[in-house]
Structure 1
Amino acid sequence: MKHILQQIGGAIAFYSCIPLPSSWPLEFERIARWAPWIGFLLGMGIGTLDYGLALGHMPDLTRSALVVALWIGLTGGLHLDGVMDTADGLAVMEPERRLTVMSDSRTGAFGVMAGTLVLLLKVCALSNLSIAHLPALVTALVWGRIAQVMAIAIFPYLKPEGNNAFHANAFQGLGDLWPSVIGVFAIAVCQYYGFPLAWPSVLGGILMASSLSLGISYWFYYQFKGMTGDVYGAIVEWTEALILCCLTLV
Protein backbone atom coordinates (compact mmCIF):
# COMPACT_ATOMS: atom_id res chain seq x y z
CA MET A 1 0.00 0.00 0.00
CA LYS A 2 2.87 2.36 0.81
CA HIS A 3 4.38 1.89 -2.66
CA ILE A 4 0.99 2.47 -4.30
CA LEU A 5 0.54 5.79 -2.47
CA GLN A 6 4.07 6.80 -3.44
CA GLN A 7 3.40 5.93 -7.08
CA ILE A 8 0.09 7.82 -7.08
CA GLY A 9 1.92 10.81 -5.62
CA GLY A 10 4.55 10.48 -8.33
CA ALA A 11 1.82 10.30 -10.99
CA ILE A 12 0.17 13.46 -9.64
CA ALA A 13 3.50 15.29 -9.61
CA PHE A 14 4.51 14.09 -13.10
CA TYR A 15 1.20 14.39 -14.96
CA SER A 16 -0.20 17.51 -13.30
CA CYS A 17 0.65 20.71 -11.46
CA ILE A 18 -1.51 19.83 -8.46
CA PRO A 19 0.51 20.72 -5.33
CA LEU A 20 1.32 17.92 -2.91
CA PRO A 21 2.54 18.08 0.70
CA SER A 22 6.33 18.19 0.84
CA SER A 23 6.25 15.21 3.21
CA TRP A 24 4.58 12.96 0.58
CA PRO A 25 7.28 10.56 -0.68
CA LEU A 26 7.20 10.14 -4.46
CA GLU A 27 7.99 7.13 -6.62
CA PHE A 28 8.08 7.47 -10.42
CA GLU A 29 9.00 3.99 -11.62
CA ARG A 30 5.49 2.66 -12.45
CA ILE A 31 3.39 5.80 -12.56
CA ALA A 32 1.99 5.24 -16.07
CA ARG A 33 -0.61 2.77 -14.80
CA TRP A 34 -2.08 5.46 -12.53
CA ALA A 35 -2.48 8.02 -15.34
CA PRO A 36 -6.24 7.27 -15.82
CA TRP A 37 -6.81 8.00 -12.13
CA ILE A 38 -5.07 11.36 -12.52
CA GLY A 39 -7.40 11.98 -15.48
CA PHE A 40 -10.39 11.23 -13.24
CA LEU A 41 -9.10 13.60 -10.57
CA LEU A 42 -8.51 16.39 -13.11
CA GLY A 43 -11.86 15.77 -14.79
CA MET A 44 -13.75 16.04 -11.50
CA GLY A 45 -11.94 19.26 -10.58
CA ILE A 46 -12.33 20.93 -13.97
CA GLY A 47 -15.91 19.71 -14.30
CA THR A 48 -16.82 21.10 -10.88
CA LEU A 49 -15.47 24.51 -11.88
CA ASP A 50 -17.43 24.32 -15.13
CA TYR A 51 -20.59 23.51 -13.17
CA GLY A 52 -20.01 26.49 -10.89
CA LEU A 53 -19.55 28.84 -13.84
CA ALA A 54 -22.72 27.45 -15.42
CA LEU A 55 -24.65 28.22 -12.22
CA GLY A 56 -23.41 31.80 -12.61
CA HIS A 57 -24.95 31.86 -16.13
CA MET A 58 -21.63 32.40 -17.87
CA PRO A 59 -22.06 31.95 -21.66
CA ASP A 60 -21.10 28.49 -22.94
CA LEU A 61 -18.26 29.61 -25.22
CA THR A 62 -16.58 31.80 -22.60
CA ARG A 63 -17.00 29.10 -19.97
CA SER A 64 -15.53 26.46 -22.27
CA ALA A 65 -12.51 28.63 -23.05
CA LEU A 66 -11.84 29.18 -19.33
CA VAL A 67 -12.22 25.47 -18.63
CA VAL A 68 -9.74 24.53 -21.36
CA ALA A 69 -7.32 27.20 -20.08
CA LEU A 70 -7.51 25.64 -16.60
CA TRP A 71 -7.11 22.22 -18.22
CA ILE A 72 -3.80 23.35 -19.71
CA GLY A 73 -2.73 24.98 -16.48
CA LEU A 74 -3.37 21.90 -14.34
CA THR A 75 -1.39 19.67 -16.70
CA GLY A 76 1.37 22.23 -17.24
CA GLY A 77 0.89 21.91 -20.98
CA LEU A 78 2.74 18.58 -20.77
CA HIS A 79 0.67 16.77 -23.37
CA LEU A 80 0.01 19.82 -25.55
CA ASP A 81 3.77 20.23 -25.92
CA GLY A 82 3.83 16.66 -27.25
CA VAL A 83 1.16 17.55 -29.82
CA MET A 84 3.27 20.41 -31.16
CA ASP A 85 6.59 18.54 -31.18
CA THR A 86 4.99 15.52 -32.85
CA ALA A 87 3.40 17.69 -35.54
CA ASP A 88 6.77 19.30 -36.28
CA GLY A 89 8.30 15.83 -36.57
CA LEU A 90 5.58 14.63 -38.94
CA ALA A 91 6.17 17.67 -41.14
CA VAL A 92 9.65 16.36 -41.98
CA MET A 93 9.68 14.13 -45.06
CA GLU A 94 12.75 12.12 -44.00
CA PRO A 95 11.69 9.70 -41.22
CA GLU A 96 15.24 9.47 -39.87
CA ARG A 97 15.23 13.22 -39.08
CA ARG A 98 11.92 13.30 -37.26
CA LEU A 99 13.24 12.53 -33.79
CA THR A 100 15.91 15.20 -34.16
CA VAL A 101 13.31 17.80 -35.10
CA MET A 102 11.05 16.73 -32.23
CA SER A 103 13.86 17.16 -29.71
CA ASP A 104 14.38 20.78 -30.82
CA SER A 105 13.02 23.16 -28.18
CA ARG A 106 11.80 25.57 -30.87
CA THR A 107 8.23 25.15 -32.11
CA GLY A 108 7.61 25.23 -35.84
CA ALA A 109 4.60 26.33 -37.87
CA PHE A 110 3.09 22.83 -38.01
CA GLY A 111 3.37 22.51 -34.24
CA VAL A 112 1.57 25.80 -33.69
CA MET A 113 -1.18 24.78 -36.10
CA ALA A 114 -1.64 21.38 -34.45
CA GLY A 115 -1.74 22.85 -30.94
CA THR A 116 -4.22 25.51 -32.01
CA LEU A 117 -6.43 22.92 -33.70
CA VAL A 118 -6.57 20.74 -30.59
CA LEU A 119 -7.53 23.70 -28.41
CA LEU A 120 -10.19 24.84 -30.88
CA LEU A 121 -11.69 21.36 -31.03
CA LYS A 122 -11.90 21.18 -27.25
CA VAL A 123 -13.41 24.63 -26.79
CA CYS A 124 -15.93 24.21 -29.61
CA ALA A 125 -16.92 20.69 -28.56
CA LEU A 126 -17.43 21.73 -24.93
CA SER A 127 -19.49 24.75 -25.90
CA ASN A 128 -21.73 22.61 -28.14
CA LEU A 129 -22.36 19.71 -25.75
CA SER A 130 -26.02 19.06 -25.09
CA ILE A 131 -25.17 16.78 -22.17
CA ALA A 132 -23.72 17.46 -18.72
CA HIS A 133 -20.17 18.77 -18.97
CA LEU A 134 -18.76 17.15 -15.82
CA PRO A 135 -19.20 13.50 -16.91
CA ALA A 136 -18.11 14.49 -20.44
CA LEU A 137 -14.87 16.00 -19.10
CA VAL A 138 -14.23 12.95 -16.91
CA THR A 139 -14.83 10.69 -19.92
CA ALA A 140 -12.39 12.64 -22.13
CA LEU A 141 -9.63 12.99 -19.54
CA VAL A 142 -9.73 9.37 -18.41
CA TRP A 143 -9.88 7.93 -21.94
CA GLY A 144 -7.01 10.16 -23.05
CA ARG A 145 -4.81 8.56 -20.43
CA ILE A 146 -6.13 5.05 -21.04
CA ALA A 147 -5.03 5.56 -24.65
CA GLN A 148 -1.54 6.36 -23.38
CA VAL A 149 -1.50 3.20 -21.26
CA MET A 150 -2.60 1.19 -24.31
CA ALA A 151 0.24 2.69 -26.35
CA ILE A 152 2.77 1.88 -23.62
CA ALA A 153 1.48 -1.68 -23.31
CA ILE A 154 1.28 -2.50 -27.03
CA PHE A 155 3.87 -0.51 -28.97
CA PRO A 156 7.68 -0.36 -28.54
CA TYR A 157 9.51 2.72 -27.32
CA LEU A 158 11.88 4.25 -29.85
CA LYS A 159 14.61 5.70 -27.62
CA PRO A 160 15.72 3.43 -24.76
CA GLU A 161 17.72 6.34 -23.33
CA GLY A 162 14.88 8.87 -23.68
CA ASN A 163 13.47 10.84 -20.75
CA ASN A 164 10.18 8.93 -20.89
CA ALA A 165 11.61 5.48 -21.55
CA PHE A 166 10.95 4.55 -17.92
CA HIS A 167 7.23 4.36 -18.74
CA ALA A 168 7.76 1.47 -21.13
CA ASN A 169 10.66 -0.12 -19.25
CA ALA A 170 8.77 -0.30 -15.96
CA PHE A 171 5.46 -1.46 -17.43
CA GLN A 172 4.58 -4.96 -16.21
CA GLY A 173 1.95 -6.18 -18.64
CA LEU A 174 -1.58 -7.09 -17.61
CA GLY A 175 -0.79 -6.45 -13.96
CA ASP A 176 -0.50 -2.73 -14.71
CA LEU A 177 -3.78 -2.50 -16.62
CA TRP A 178 -6.19 -2.89 -13.70
CA PRO A 179 -6.22 0.85 -12.82
CA SER A 180 -7.35 1.50 -16.40
CA VAL A 181 -10.14 -1.06 -16.00
CA ILE A 182 -11.29 0.78 -12.87
CA GLY A 183 -11.11 4.01 -14.90
CA VAL A 184 -13.42 2.53 -17.54
CA PHE A 185 -15.85 1.49 -14.80
CA ALA A 186 -15.77 5.05 -13.37
CA ILE A 187 -16.54 6.45 -16.82
CA ALA A 188 -19.45 4.03 -17.23
CA VAL A 189 -20.93 5.13 -13.89
CA CYS A 190 -20.52 8.82 -14.81
CA GLN A 191 -22.24 8.27 -18.13
CA TYR A 192 -25.07 6.18 -16.68
CA TYR A 193 -25.93 8.63 -13.90
CA GLY A 194 -24.59 11.88 -15.36
CA PHE A 195 -25.88 11.97 -18.94
CA PRO A 196 -27.88 9.65 -18.29
CA LEU A 197 -27.47 6.83 -20.80
CA ALA A 198 -28.89 3.32 -20.86
CA TRP A 199 -26.35 0.55 -20.25
CA PRO A 200 -26.32 -0.59 -23.91
CA SER A 201 -25.39 2.97 -24.93
CA VAL A 202 -22.69 3.09 -22.23
CA LEU A 203 -21.21 -0.19 -23.47
CA GLY A 204 -21.36 1.07 -27.04
CA GLY A 205 -19.52 4.21 -25.94
CA ILE A 206 -16.79 2.11 -24.32
CA LEU A 207 -16.37 0.13 -27.53
CA MET A 208 -16.21 3.33 -29.58
CA ALA A 209 -13.71 4.99 -27.23
CA SER A 210 -11.54 1.85 -27.13
CA SER A 211 -11.46 1.71 -30.92
CA LEU A 212 -10.66 5.41 -31.15
CA SER A 213 -7.87 5.13 -28.58
CA LEU A 214 -6.30 2.15 -30.31
CA GLY A 215 -6.73 3.74 -33.73
CA ILE A 216 -4.96 6.96 -32.70
CA SER A 217 -2.15 5.03 -31.03
CA TYR A 218 -1.68 2.80 -34.04
CA TRP A 219 -1.66 5.77 -36.44
CA PHE A 220 1.19 7.39 -34.54
CA TYR A 221 3.01 4.06 -34.34
CA TYR A 222 2.63 3.65 -38.10
CA GLN A 223 4.10 7.11 -38.65
CA PHE A 224 7.07 6.78 -36.28
CA LYS A 225 7.48 2.98 -36.00
CA GLY A 226 7.54 3.39 -32.25
CA MET A 227 6.67 5.66 -29.34
CA THR A 228 8.34 8.63 -27.65
CA GLY A 229 7.29 10.87 -24.78
CA ASP A 230 6.05 13.47 -27.25
CA VAL A 231 3.98 10.86 -29.07
CA TYR A 232 2.42 9.78 -25.76
CA GLY A 233 1.42 13.39 -25.15
CA ALA A 234 -0.04 13.70 -28.65
CA ILE A 235 -2.06 10.51 -28.14
CA VAL A 236 -3.53 11.88 -24.90
CA GLU A 237 -4.50 15.25 -26.41
CA TRP A 238 -5.96 13.95 -29.68
CA THR A 239 -7.94 11.27 -27.84
CA GLU A 240 -9.35 13.84 -25.43
CA ALA A 241 -10.31 16.24 -28.23
CA LEU A 242 -11.91 13.59 -30.43
CA ILE A 243 -13.79 12.00 -27.52
CA LEU A 244 -15.34 15.41 -26.77
CA CYS A 245 -16.23 15.81 -30.45
CA CYS A 246 -17.92 12.41 -30.45
CA LEU A 247 -19.89 13.33 -27.31
CA THR A 248 -21.49 16.26 -29.15
CA LEU A 249 -23.40 13.60 -31.08
CA VAL A 250 -25.02 12.20 -27.94
Structure 2
Amino acid sequence: MPPARPGETSPRPGWFARLGGSILFYTKLPLLPGWQPRFEGIAPLAPVVGLGLGLGLAAVDWALAQLGMPTLTRSALVIGLGVWVTGGLHLDGAMDTADGLAVMDPQRRLAVMADSHSGAFGVMAAIAILGLKTLALAELTSGRGWVLVAAMVWGRWGQVVAIARYPYLRAGGKGALHREHLRPQDWLLGVALALGLHGLWLGRQPGQILPVGISLAGGLVLAWAVGAWLNRRLGGHTGDTYGATVEWIETLLLCLATLA
Protein backbone atom coordinates (compact mmCIF):
# COMPACT_ATOMS: atom_id res chain seq x y z
CA MET A 1 0.00 0.00 0.00
CA PRO A 2 1.29 3.52 -0.74
CA PRO A 3 2.10 5.64 2.30
CA ALA A 4 -0.35 8.29 3.38
CA ARG A 5 0.28 11.88 2.34
CA PRO A 6 0.75 14.52 5.02
CA GLY A 7 -2.56 15.27 6.68
CA GLU A 8 -4.21 12.08 5.37
CA THR A 9 -5.03 8.88 7.19
CA SER A 10 -3.24 5.75 6.02
CA PRO A 11 -5.14 3.70 3.43
CA ARG A 12 -7.01 0.67 4.69
CA PRO A 13 -5.40 -2.73 4.22
CA GLY A 14 -7.13 -5.57 2.37
CA TRP A 15 -10.18 -7.27 3.81
CA PHE A 16 -8.34 -10.51 4.68
CA ALA A 17 -5.77 -8.67 6.80
CA ARG A 18 -8.57 -6.68 8.43
CA LEU A 19 -10.54 -9.85 9.11
CA GLY A 20 -7.53 -11.24 10.96
CA GLY A 21 -7.34 -8.03 12.97
CA SER A 22 -11.03 -8.17 13.81
CA ILE A 23 -10.73 -11.76 15.03
CA LEU A 24 -7.82 -10.85 17.30
CA PHE A 25 -9.52 -7.67 18.55
CA TYR A 26 -12.98 -9.04 19.20
CA THR A 27 -12.15 -12.60 20.33
CA LYS A 28 -9.50 -14.72 22.04
CA LEU A 29 -9.22 -17.03 19.04
CA PRO A 30 -5.77 -17.53 17.48
CA LEU A 31 -5.05 -16.92 13.81
CA LEU A 32 -3.67 -19.44 11.37
CA PRO A 33 0.12 -19.34 10.92
CA GLY A 34 1.18 -16.75 8.38
CA TRP A 35 -2.00 -14.68 8.68
CA GLN A 36 -0.83 -11.06 9.00
CA PRO A 37 -3.53 -9.03 10.77
CA ARG A 38 -4.15 -5.31 10.44
CA PHE A 39 -6.43 -3.30 12.67
CA GLU A 40 -7.27 -0.29 10.51
CA GLY A 41 -10.90 -0.54 9.45
CA ILE A 42 -11.87 -3.70 11.36
CA ALA A 43 -15.22 -2.41 12.66
CA PRO A 44 -17.26 -3.21 9.50
CA LEU A 45 -16.13 -6.84 9.78
CA ALA A 46 -17.43 -7.21 13.33
CA PRO A 47 -20.75 -8.69 12.06
CA VAL A 48 -18.72 -11.31 10.16
CA VAL A 49 -16.98 -12.22 13.41
CA GLY A 50 -20.40 -12.33 15.07
CA LEU A 51 -21.61 -14.74 12.40
CA GLY A 52 -18.68 -17.06 13.04
CA LEU A 53 -19.12 -16.89 16.80
CA GLY A 54 -22.85 -17.51 16.53
CA LEU A 55 -22.39 -20.53 14.29
CA GLY A 56 -19.80 -21.95 16.68
CA LEU A 57 -22.03 -21.46 19.72
CA ALA A 58 -25.02 -22.91 17.88
CA ALA A 59 -22.95 -25.99 17.03
CA VAL A 60 -21.96 -26.40 20.68
CA ASP A 61 -25.59 -26.05 21.72
CA TRP A 62 -26.64 -28.70 19.20
CA ALA A 63 -23.90 -31.09 20.36
CA LEU A 64 -24.87 -30.70 24.01
CA ALA A 65 -28.51 -31.33 23.09
CA GLN A 66 -27.51 -34.59 21.38
CA LEU A 67 -25.84 -35.64 24.62
CA GLY A 68 -29.11 -35.10 26.48
CA MET A 69 -28.07 -32.06 28.50
CA PRO A 70 -31.07 -30.14 29.92
CA THR A 71 -32.03 -26.97 28.10
CA LEU A 72 -31.32 -24.52 30.91
CA THR A 73 -27.91 -25.99 31.68
CA ARG A 74 -26.72 -25.96 28.10
CA SER A 75 -28.10 -22.45 27.63
CA ALA A 76 -25.99 -21.24 30.55
CA LEU A 77 -22.92 -23.01 29.17
CA VAL A 78 -23.41 -21.54 25.70
CA ILE A 79 -23.80 -17.99 27.05
CA GLY A 80 -20.79 -18.46 29.33
CA LEU A 81 -18.74 -19.80 26.44
CA GLY A 82 -19.64 -16.72 24.42
CA VAL A 83 -18.28 -14.49 27.17
CA TRP A 84 -15.08 -16.52 27.36
CA VAL A 85 -14.45 -16.55 23.61
CA THR A 86 -14.82 -12.77 23.41
CA GLY A 87 -12.67 -12.26 26.50
CA GLY A 88 -15.57 -10.43 28.12
CA LEU A 89 -14.77 -7.45 25.88
CA HIS A 90 -18.35 -6.34 25.26
CA LEU A 91 -19.61 -7.33 28.72
CA ASP A 92 -16.87 -5.24 30.34
CA GLY A 93 -18.00 -2.28 28.24
CA ALA A 94 -21.60 -2.81 29.32
CA MET A 95 -20.52 -2.86 32.97
CA ASP A 96 -18.45 0.31 32.67
CA THR A 97 -21.29 2.03 30.82
CA ALA A 98 -23.75 1.12 33.56
CA ASP A 99 -21.42 2.56 36.18
CA GLY A 100 -21.06 5.75 34.17
CA LEU A 101 -24.77 6.20 33.59
CA ALA A 102 -25.41 5.80 37.33
CA VAL A 103 -23.44 8.98 38.03
CA MET A 104 -25.70 12.00 38.38
CA ASP A 105 -23.05 14.50 37.27
CA PRO A 106 -22.68 14.20 33.45
CA GLN A 107 -19.19 15.70 33.65
CA ARG A 108 -17.92 12.76 35.70
CA ARG A 109 -19.43 9.95 33.68
CA LEU A 110 -16.51 9.40 31.30
CA ALA A 111 -14.04 9.38 34.19
CA VAL A 112 -16.10 6.76 36.02
CA MET A 113 -16.37 4.65 32.87
CA ALA A 114 -12.59 4.81 32.43
CA ASP A 115 -12.05 3.40 35.94
CA SER A 116 -11.05 -0.26 35.71
CA HIS A 117 -12.88 -1.10 38.96
CA SER A 118 -16.46 -2.30 38.59
CA GLY A 119 -19.10 -0.63 40.69
CA ALA A 120 -22.42 -1.92 41.97
CA PHE A 121 -24.35 -0.83 38.88
CA GLY A 122 -21.84 -2.53 36.59
CA VAL A 123 -22.19 -5.79 38.49
CA MET A 124 -25.97 -5.54 38.37
CA ALA A 125 -25.84 -4.90 34.63
CA ALA A 126 -23.69 -8.01 34.11
CA ILE A 127 -26.08 -10.13 36.18
CA ALA A 128 -29.06 -8.82 34.23
CA ILE A 129 -27.42 -9.40 30.84
CA LEU A 130 -26.20 -12.92 31.58
CA GLY A 131 -29.39 -13.91 33.36
CA LEU A 132 -31.72 -12.59 30.67
CA LYS A 133 -29.68 -14.15 27.88
CA THR A 134 -29.61 -17.54 29.58
CA LEU A 135 -33.30 -17.59 30.45
CA ALA A 136 -34.39 -16.29 27.05
CA LEU A 137 -32.30 -18.86 25.20
CA ALA A 138 -33.67 -21.60 27.43
CA GLU A 139 -37.23 -20.55 26.52
CA LEU A 140 -36.59 -20.99 22.79
CA THR A 141 -37.78 -24.47 21.89
CA SER A 142 -37.21 -24.13 18.14
CA GLY A 143 -34.93 -22.02 16.02
CA ARG A 144 -32.47 -21.60 18.90
CA GLY A 145 -29.42 -21.70 16.69
CA TRP A 146 -30.87 -19.24 14.17
CA VAL A 147 -31.84 -16.73 16.84
CA LEU A 148 -28.46 -17.02 18.54
CA VAL A 149 -26.59 -16.34 15.31
CA ALA A 150 -28.94 -13.48 14.38
CA ALA A 151 -28.49 -11.83 17.79
CA MET A 152 -24.71 -11.87 17.47
CA VAL A 153 -24.81 -10.44 13.95
CA TRP A 154 -27.35 -7.71 14.79
CA GLY A 155 -25.47 -6.75 17.96
CA ARG A 156 -22.26 -6.13 16.08
CA TRP A 157 -24.02 -4.35 13.25
CA GLY A 158 -25.55 -2.04 15.85
CA GLN A 159 -22.02 -1.23 16.94
CA VAL A 160 -21.09 -0.28 13.38
CA VAL A 161 -24.17 1.98 13.21
CA ALA A 162 -23.14 3.68 16.47
CA ILE A 163 -19.60 4.21 15.19
CA ALA A 164 -20.86 5.69 11.93
CA ARG A 165 -23.63 7.92 13.28
CA TYR A 166 -22.41 9.39 16.55
CA PRO A 167 -19.36 11.33 17.76
CA TYR A 168 -16.57 9.57 19.63
CA LEU A 169 -15.93 11.09 23.04
CA ARG A 170 -12.36 9.98 23.76
CA ALA A 171 -9.71 11.11 21.29
CA GLY A 172 -7.14 8.72 22.76
CA GLY A 173 -9.41 5.72 23.31
CA LYS A 174 -9.16 2.37 21.54
CA GLY A 175 -12.45 2.95 19.76
CA ALA A 176 -11.08 6.00 17.95
CA LEU A 177 -9.33 3.66 15.52
CA HIS A 178 -12.69 2.28 14.39
CA ARG A 179 -14.14 5.66 13.51
CA GLU A 180 -10.98 6.95 11.85
CA HIS A 181 -11.02 4.26 9.18
CA LEU A 182 -14.78 3.91 8.72
CA ARG A 183 -16.33 4.63 5.32
CA PRO A 184 -19.93 5.75 4.73
CA GLN A 185 -20.86 2.50 2.98
CA ASP A 186 -19.37 0.22 5.64
CA TRP A 187 -22.69 -0.29 7.41
CA LEU A 188 -24.04 -2.12 4.34
CA LEU A 189 -21.99 -5.29 4.92
CA GLY A 190 -23.56 -6.09 8.27
CA VAL A 191 -27.15 -5.49 7.20
CA ALA A 192 -26.63 -7.51 4.01
CA LEU A 193 -25.24 -10.35 6.13
CA ALA A 194 -28.23 -10.18 8.48
CA LEU A 195 -30.75 -10.10 5.63
CA GLY A 196 -29.08 -13.05 3.96
CA LEU A 197 -29.12 -14.99 7.23
CA HIS A 198 -32.85 -14.43 7.70
CA GLY A 199 -33.55 -15.33 4.08
CA LEU A 200 -31.67 -18.60 4.53
CA TRP A 201 -33.51 -19.23 7.82
CA LEU A 202 -36.89 -18.79 6.15
CA GLY A 203 -35.82 -20.90 3.18
CA ARG A 204 -34.76 -23.77 5.43
CA GLN A 205 -37.77 -23.49 7.76
CA PRO A 206 -40.70 -21.93 5.85
CA GLY A 207 -43.07 -22.46 8.76
CA GLN A 208 -41.19 -20.04 11.00
CA ILE A 209 -42.39 -16.84 9.38
CA LEU A 210 -43.26 -15.26 12.74
CA PRO A 211 -39.88 -15.82 14.48
CA VAL A 212 -38.00 -14.78 11.35
CA GLY A 213 -40.08 -11.61 11.11
CA ILE A 214 -39.62 -10.80 14.79
CA SER A 215 -35.86 -11.35 14.57
CA LEU A 216 -35.55 -9.27 11.41
CA ALA A 217 -37.70 -6.34 12.55
CA GLY A 218 -36.42 -6.48 16.11
CA GLY A 219 -32.80 -6.58 15.00
CA LEU A 220 -33.20 -3.57 12.74
CA VAL A 221 -35.00 -1.51 15.37
CA LEU A 222 -32.70 -2.44 18.25
CA ALA A 223 -29.55 -1.88 16.20
CA TRP A 224 -30.60 1.75 15.76
CA ALA A 225 -32.40 2.35 19.07
CA VAL A 226 -29.77 1.15 21.56
CA GLY A 227 -26.98 3.25 20.07
CA ALA A 228 -29.30 6.24 19.80
CA TRP A 229 -30.34 5.95 23.45
CA LEU A 230 -26.75 5.78 24.67
CA ASN A 231 -25.85 8.75 22.48
CA ARG A 232 -28.72 10.73 23.98
CA ARG A 233 -27.59 9.95 27.52
CA LEU A 234 -23.89 10.61 26.99
CA GLY A 235 -23.70 12.93 24.02
CA GLY A 236 -21.69 10.44 21.99
CA HIS A 237 -20.01 7.05 22.28
CA THR A 238 -16.87 5.44 23.65
CA GLY A 239 -15.35 1.99 23.34
CA ASP A 240 -17.31 1.02 26.44
CA THR A 241 -20.64 2.05 24.94
CA TYR A 242 -19.81 0.16 21.76
CA GLY A 243 -19.54 -2.95 23.93
CA ALA A 244 -22.74 -2.07 25.76
CA THR A 245 -24.51 -1.67 22.41
CA VAL A 246 -23.51 -5.19 21.38
CA GLU A 247 -24.55 -6.76 24.68
CA TRP A 248 -27.92 -5.07 25.03
CA ILE A 249 -28.93 -5.68 21.43
CA GLU A 250 -28.11 -9.37 21.84
CA THR A 251 -29.96 -9.55 25.17
CA LEU A 252 -33.09 -7.71 24.06
CA LEU A 253 -33.32 -9.59 20.76
CA LEU A 254 -33.12 -12.94 22.54
CA CYS A 255 -35.88 -11.80 24.91
CA LEU A 256 -37.95 -10.53 21.99
CA ALA A 257 -37.59 -13.87 20.22
CA THR A 258 -39.40 -15.63 23.07
CA LEU A 259 -42.61 -13.95 21.93
CA ALA A 260 -42.62 -16.26 18.91
TM bucket (normalised to shorter chain) is over 0.9
Runs (4+) of structure 1 exceeding 6 A deviation are none
| TM-score using structure 2 length | 0.91
Q: Which residue of 1 aligns with 2:10?
A: none
Aligned match for 1:55, one of 66, 72, 78: 66
**Displacement of 1:162 after TM fit?**
1.4
Q: Of residues 99, 107, 116 in structure 1, which corresponds to 2:118?
A: 107
Partner of 1:225: 235
In the alignment, structure 1 residue 188 sits paired with structure 2 residue 185: no
Bigger proportion of residues as helix: 1
| Cα separation, 1, equivalents of 2:125 and 2:32 | 36
Cα distance in structure 1, aligned partners of 2:143 and 2:208: 15
1:73 corresponds to 2:84: yes
**Deviation by residue 1:168-207 (Cα, 9 ceiling, x = unmatched):** 1111111x12321332133213431455456687456423
Matched, 1:129 2:113: no
CA contact (8 A) 1:147 1:213 kept: yes
SS of 2:118's equivalent in the other structure is: coil
The answer to whether the 8 Å contact 1:135/1:195 transfers is no
> What residue ranges of structure 1 are gaps of 5+ in the alignment?
none
Q: Which has the larger radius of gyration?
A: 2
Instruction: Judge conservation of contact 2:211–2:257 (CA < 8 Å) in 1.
Output: no
- Aligned position for 2:103: 92
Distance 1:247 1:162, change over 3 A: same
SS of structure 2 residue aligned to 1:19: coil
Residues 153 and 168 in structure 1, CA contact (< 8 A), matched pair in contact too: yes
Contact 1:135 1:194 in 2 (8 A): no
User: What is the aligned-residue RMSD (CA, Å)?
Assistant: 1.8
Distance 2:132 2:204 in 1: 22
Which residue of 1 is the match for residue 254 of structure 2? Answer: 244
1:43-100 Cα shifts (integer Å, max 9, x gaps): 0000000000011110011000100111001100000000100000011100010000
Q: Does 1:40 align with 2:31?
A: no
2:205 and 2:165 map into 1 onto residues whose CA distance is 32
What letter corresponds to residue 34 of structure 1 in structure 2? L
Answer with 192-201 or 28-37: which moved more. Answer: 192-201
Assess, with a 3 A threshold, how the Cα gap between structure 1 residues 138 and 190 changes in structure 2: closer, same or farther: farther
TM-score w.r.t. structure 1 length? 0.94
Q: Give the direction of change, closer, same or farther, for the CA distance of 1:160–1:48 in structure 2 (3 Å limit).
A: same
Gaps of 5+ in 2: 1-12
On the 8 A contact 2:218/2:253 being kept in 1, the answer is no
Task: Give aligned pairs, total.
Answer: 249
Q: Deviations over 1:114-170 (max 9, x none)?
A: 011000000000111122221111011000001101111111111122121111111
Q: Match for residue 3 of structure 2?
A: none
Please state if 1:206 is matched with 2:216.
yes
